[in-house]
Amino acid sequence: MSGIRLFRTVQVKLIIIYVLLILIAMQLIGVYFISTVKNSLTESFTSNLKDQANLLSEMAAPTLAGKTVDPDSQQPDSAEGLSYVVRNLFSISEAEIQVLDSSGKVLATSDASHQSYIGKKNTSLAVTRALQSIRDNEEEIVDEDNVKKKIIAQPVTYEGGRVVGAVYIVASMNDLYDTMDRVNRIFVSGTLIALGLTGVLGILLAHTITNPIKVLTRSAAAVAEGRFDQQVKVLGDDEIGRLSEAFNDMTKRLREALSVNEEEREKLASVLANMSDGVVASDESGMVIVSNRRALELLDVNACEGCELAMLLGMEGDEAVELLQSGGSRLLRKTNDDGEWLLRVTFTPVHRRDKGTTGTIAVLEDVTEQEKLEQSRREFVANVSHELRTPLTTIRSYAEALDDGALDERQLADRFVSVIRNETERMIRLVTDLLHLSRFDSNQVPLRRRATSVPELLEEAADRFAFQTSQKGIRTEVHIAEGVGTVWLDRDGIDQVLDNLISNAIKYTLDGGTIVLTARKPEMNAIAISVRDSGIGIPKKDLGRIFDRFYRVDKARSRNMGGTGLGLSIAREIVRAHSGTITLESELNEGTTVMFTLPAPDIREGGEPA
């Protein structure tokens, strides 16, 4: 497998291409060169044989024609002369030269081993054609020793072109082919050397091309692994150099884009982590992939990731599919050991242009307080409507009675007018208390603080209700602890708090009971004032809502006593405006204690708080 991977590399492919190109080129050149050399050597060899045949033909012509030869000339004058000339002057390596007469008989031969051929007739086709005055008679043969030979036969003519004989040459072509073999070996050696040099140069050249590509490949792999600080050297202005520049620019932009993306992710994570609402995101299959800490708190779970969103929110069937695909909202009620709370879940599908819905984002909003406020608002409106409707109904009834004739009876008319007056005053008190609470809700009640003597404050409060307590035989006590003196507070506001508390204590304390007003300092810069009675007390189930507006333990009895159900609410708002706290403790049939604690800085001699 490693060998297969090696041949897949660009460097090896380039080297193979270079070598194959050189090999093909050398083969083409070699074929042409060898063919040309072979033809040239063959033509030269044949031409040499023909020249010698023509020269011998001219020298042997007078002798074969039977003419007298000049002794001073080099021409032979007999058959023995022809043999001498053939053997000595026309000796060719590995060749046999024969001189034939007009009948084809051998007159002379250069081969000493073939002297027996003299006087015999040569029946070769080439000889026959030459004796017929046909020139350029040549052919190649392979003898019994597997030696390739060249045959040349030339006619010998004399005076007027009369054929008087022929010259027959048989020459071995071994030297020619030996020369071709040497040329082939030289060419093959040159080819191998050229291929070797080409391979080396191909490796070097391929390295110069592939090495930058390898560097780019390693850098690209590093980028794929998340290391975006990669930079490569630009080694030239060629394609690879421009590719390196493009890679460096790409990594730079990637770093910038990832930096921006990371900042956005951190911002998003910070927003999600600090949102007052819970956020849960799911993928296209409905599995949760992202959630924030607030979502875990609202859903009362340890983890959301990997859970099915519909199951996590307690949805089933078509409702879940509709909300996840199309969006919408629903209320989700959750309970645990600590209590119950209400969530509004708003679904928003995430769309992608080419894929449709790819997920859903669910926003969880805790609407428990809102529902409580809405419930309180509904109860408040109902209570106000009831509280106003009751005296109005009474007034209307008595007014109609007066109109129907009761006005003529003086005693009855006075009693009806008194009832109408009382109900009117009750409505005025109710409206006044509502306005007072409204101003507290909108922070429109300024505190007029001044130095106030706490003993004097409690004594005066007890004196204001002396007549009412004496009528019911209720004993009033005022206890001032050591160290309680003058404090800085809104005298009118605290007077109203005490009036409301003492009034309630008188209403719900039986004849002959006791009301105790106490002031003490639980801390250096605080003062606690309490109103304790020995009345009928409050059931424990009602203690949690005793400060709610219009809340009454015994609604019928409270209304008959003229109460509006707002006294404790107003007292709480006044104490809160002083940055204080108010608490109530009660035991049924034993009595009730209401205590409020106010900050009380020391008073300087000039009457200002320290």
Single out the residue in 134, 151, 179 at which a domain terminates. Answer: 179
> Residue 278 forms beta bridges with which residues?
364
The predicted pLDDT at position 523 comes to: 87
577-593 per-residue burial string, b: 16 or more CB within 10 A, e: under 16 = ebebebebebeeeebbb
Distance CA 65, CA 72 (A): 19
CATH value at residue 454: 3.30.565.10
Contact 289/282 with Cβ under 8 angstroms? yes
pLDDT tier, 222 (very low <50, low <70, confident <90, very high otherwise): confident
**Structure-model confidence comparison of residues 107 and 317, the more confident one:** 107
Q: Pull the structure tokens for residue 172.
A: 């071995």
Same domain, 66 and 130: yes
Which of 75-84, 470-479, 570-579: highest mean pLDDT?
A: 470-479
The predicted pLDDT at position 343 comes to: 83
Same domain, 129 and 53: yes
Same domain, 290 and 396: no
594 part of a folded domain: yes
Distance CA 429, CA 229 (A): 78
Single out the residue in 144, 179, 214 at which a domain terminates. Answer: 179
Q: What is the pLDDT of residues 412-456, one digit of tens each?
A: 788 888 888 877 877 777 677 677 667 766 676 677 888 889 999
**Dihedral sign, CA of 455, 458, 464, 469?**
negative
**Structure-model confidence comparison of residues 82 and 246, the more confident one:** 246
Reply yes or no on whether the pLDDT at 560 is more than 70: no
pLDDT tier, 593 (very low <50, low <70, confident <90, very high otherwise): very high
Same domain, 353 and 387: no
Same domain, 348 and 378: no
431 part of a folded domain: yes
Same domain, 279 and 267: no
Q: What is the pLDDT of residues 9-57, one digit of tens each?
A: 666 777 778 778 888 887 888 888 888 888 888 888 888 888 888 888 8
Reply yes or no on whether the pLDDT at 255 is more than 80: yes
Which of 4-13, 251-260, 424-433, 501-510: highest mean pLDDT?
A: 501-510
The predicted pLDDT at position 383 comes to: 66
The predicted pLDDT at position 477 comes to: 92
The predicted pLDDT at position 584 comes to: 92
281 part of a folded domain: yes
Distance CA 544, CA 438 (A): 22
In three-state secondary structure terms, 39 is helix
Q: What is the gyration radius of the CA atoms in the chain, in angstroms?
A: 67
Contact 488/601 with Cβ under 8 angstroms? yes
Which of 146-155, 475-484, 496-505, 562-571 shows the lowest mean pLDDT across its residues?
562-571
Single out the residue in 312, 344, 362 at which a domain terminates. Answer: 362
Mean pLDDT in residue range 233-252: 80
User: How large a percentage of the chain has pLDDT more than 70?
Assistant: 87
The predicted pLDDT at position 79 comes to: 63
Contact 216/21 with Cβ under 8 angstroms? no
CATH value at residue 93: 3.30.450.20
Same domain, 336 and 419: no
pLDDT tier, 92 (very low <50, low <70, confident <90, very high otherwise): low
Q: How do strand 137-142 and strand 581-587 relate by DSSP bridges?
A: unpaired
The predicted pLDDT at position 442 comes to: 66
Angle of helix 491-507 versus helix 567-577 axis, rounded to 10: 150
197 part of a folded domain: no
Length of the chain: 610
Distance CA 463, CA 59 (A): 182
pLDDT tier, 531 (very low <50, low <70, confident <90, very high otherwise): very high
DSSP state of 587: E
Same domain, 29 and 84: yes
Q: What is the pLDDT of residues 326-380, one digit of tens each?
A: 777 777 777 777 777 788 888 888 877 777 777 888 888 887 777 777 777 776 6
582 part of a folded domain: yes
202 part of a folded domain: no
481 part of a folded domain: yes
DSSP line for 394-442: HHHHHHHHHHTTGGGSHHHHHHHHHHHHHHHHHHHHHHHHHHHHHHHHT
Average pLDDT, the chain: 80
Domain enclosing residue 347, as ranges? 275-362
Same domain, 261 and 308: no
Same domain, 159 and 249: no
22 part of a folded domain: yes
Q: What is the pLDDT of residues 140-195, one digit of tens each?
A: 888 777 888 888 888 888 877 788 888 888 888 888 888 888 888 888 888 888 87
Question: Could you give the number of structural domains in the chain?
Answer: 5
The predicted pLDDT at position 606 comes to: 45
Same domain, 268 and 384: no
Q: What is the pTM of this model?
A: 0.43
Same domain, 466 and 377: no
Mean pLDDT in residue range 105-125: 83
CATH value at residue 381: 1.10.287.130
pLDDT tier, 581 (very low <50, low <70, confident <90, very high otherwise): very high
